[in-house]
């Protein structure tokens, strides 16, 4: 078994809520990660976009890039071709960085007016579903041709969030072109039992994010109808072992099946409230306790 453990830079620098962690430099983030013993991370907005500069920077801290978040808009037929071209450029970037996985999430129908704080994500129509699946197959084939895997990231406040949406996505896509990113936090956030999801789609899972949920904050968020970003700011997410998700049976399942691949530890918290290094150490201790990490 060869699990590769990494940690997300989003624990330090948020990609969407720019005020969270904006004071960190790339060097500070990587120095912290390296001091914790991690060897991999995903792309961060503080990192250089030039591949040679990024390779040199990561190498100086004994780190590698595991992947990068990629938003796509394949569900809108009028925007699909342009979105696919941008996606291909990002795949080329990741390929040059030596990555084998392309984290991908459909952003169509997602409410983008940040002046409003209410959730308005419309369900995909049949035509939009068809366009999305076609786009993912084209994108997945491009990844496959480069020896990479498209891993779909179901995500809160997007069109693929809830159990029925995830199930339809898996049933509708070619298993050789579209893989699944198993994210414990977003599974629970959307109403899918993480262990059930892991068991049901294990053969499609090629990449993992481990994060936890604080139940009280999730209940408060659901009752208020406020935005995903509000939940992040209020601490709905935390590291494994600090919330309501039971990670021991998840670890047992992964160990029994000899999972071989990346596991990225995430939290997506305000670093001023939840120190990234302190919480990372807590996560490591918890994962060691349940036997997932050495």
Structural domain contains residue 172: yes
Dihedral sign for Cα atoms in the order 150, 194, 249, 41 = positive
Q: Which domain holds residue 65?
A: 4-289
Of the candidates 120, 83, 119, the residue with the CA atom closest to the CA atom of residue 221: 119
CATH number for the domain spanning 167: value is: 3.20.20.150
pLDDT in the model for residue 118: 62
pTM: 0.96
The answer as to whether 264 is a domain residue is: yes
Please report whether residue 68 resides in a domain. yes
Query: For residue 115, what pLDDT is reported?
Result: 61
- Cβ atoms of residues 124 and 133 within 8 Å: no
**Structural domain count, the chain:** 1
**Could you read off the pLDDT of 49-71 as tens digits, one per residue?**
999 999 999 999 999 999 999 99
22-48 pLDDT, tens digit per residue, is 999 999 999 999 999 999 999 999 999
Question: Is 119 part of any domain?
Answer: yes
Helix/strand/coil (H/E/C) assignment for every residue in 248-271: HHHHHHHHHCCCCCEEEECCCCCC
Residue among 184, 169, 167 nearest 263 (CA)? 184
Per-residue pLDDT at 116: 63
The answer to the question of residue 294 being in a domain is: no
- Cα radius of gyration (the chain): 18
- Residue 2 three-state SS: coil
Instruction: Evaluate whether residue 90 is within a structural domain.
Output: yes
Select from 41, 5, 10 the least CA-distant residue to 274: 10
Which positions of the chain have pLDDT values less than 70?
A: 1, 111-119
């Amino acid at each position: 078994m060869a699990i590769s453990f990494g940690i997300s830079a989003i624990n330090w620098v948020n990609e969407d809520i720019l005020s969270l962690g904006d004071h960190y430099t790339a060097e500070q983030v990587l120095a912290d990660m390296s001091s914790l013993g991690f060897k991999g991370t995903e792309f961060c907005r503080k990192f250089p976009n030039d591949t040679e500069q990024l390779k040199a920077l990561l190498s100086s801290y004994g780190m590698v890039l595991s992947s990068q978040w990629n938003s796509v808009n394949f569900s809108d037929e009028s925007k699909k071709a342009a979105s696919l071209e941008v996606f291909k450029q990002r795949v080329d970037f990741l390929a040059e960085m030596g990555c084998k996985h392309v984290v991908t999430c459909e952003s169509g129908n997602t409410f983008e007016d940040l002046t409003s704080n209410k959730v308005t994500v419309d369900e995909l129509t049949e035509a939009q579903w068809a366009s999305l699946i076609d786009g993912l197959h084209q994108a997945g084939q491009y990844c496959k041709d480069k020896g990479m895997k498209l891993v779909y990231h179901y995500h809160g406040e997007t069109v693929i969030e809830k159990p029925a949406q995830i199930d339809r996505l898996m049933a509708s896509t070619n298993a050789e072109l579209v893989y699944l990113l198993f994210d414990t936090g977003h599974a629970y956030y959307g109403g899918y039992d993480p262990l059930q999801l892991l068991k049901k789609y294990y053969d499609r899972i090629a990449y993992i994010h481990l994060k936890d949920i604080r139940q009280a904050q999730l209940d408060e968020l659901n009752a208020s109808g406020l935005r995903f970003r509000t939940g992040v700011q209020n601490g709905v997410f935390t590291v494994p072992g600090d919330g309501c998700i039971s990670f021991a049976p998840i670890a047992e399942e992964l160990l029994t099946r000899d999972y071989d691949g990346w596991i990225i530890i995430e939290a997506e918290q305000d670093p001023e409230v939840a120190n990234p290094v302190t919480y990372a150490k807590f996560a490591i201790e918890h994962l060691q306790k349940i036997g997932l990490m050495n």
